[in-house]
Amino acid sequence: YEKIKRAPVKGARNRKTVLPAASLRALCGSGGTFEEKTMEYAARFAGMQFKQAPIILGIESSCDETAAAVIRGRQLLSDVIVSSAAEQAKYGGVVPEIASRAHTDAIGSAVERAVAEAGIRKEEIDAVAATYGAGLMGALLVGLSFAKAYAYALGVPFIAADHIRGH
């Protein structure tokens, strides 16, 4: 990948969408291609033993509220909601760009609070879940990006959750 100046992003609708080589190097680390690193990450979980009561961090950012919750099995340990409803009300309803920016501002502290209120250390988290749809695209991207990065940093599986099916 050292020779790549800009690499196409796989699965992008617009084939002109590219990932800067510096970002590719950061994702790949010291060796291997992005695809090899992705497969290495996925392979870590192939033989994983299932826990009776796993600790899962859930993140929701589909509209105007940023939420983070921690569960152990089916027991809710914490639930933090940061709302931008007051800001949205100034404009007569939800403005997608304002919602996305509010998520960006709130997500880090919401997750920190949820983990602290659950009485666990982040290293105890067994998986990270986040809403992938339906919702406002920009808002969803904030939650998904944060959740995927958090899961990758912890070395735990990422679980994509459908907002509608969750109801």
Question: Which residues are CB-neighbours of 121 under 8 A, at least 6 positions away?
Answer: 115
Half-sphere exposure at residue 118, Cβ-oriented, CA atoms within 13 angstroms? 27
Which pTM does this prediction carry?
0.75
- Output the tens digit of pLDDT for each of the chain's 167 residues: 233 333 444 444 443 334 344 444 454 455 667 677 767 777 777 777 788 899 999 999 999 999 999 999 999 999 999 999 999 999 999 999 999 999 999 999 999 999 999 999 999 999 999 999 999 999 999 999 999 999 999 999 999 999 888 77
Reported in sequence order, the residue ranges of the chain that DSSP labels E, i.e. its strands, are 6-8, 18-20, 55-60, 65-72, 75-83, 127-133, 158-162
Classify the phi-psi angles of 20: left when phi > 0, otherwise alpha if psi is within -120 to 50, otherwise beta.
Answer: beta
- Cross-strand partners of 75: 72
- Cross-strand partners of 81: 67
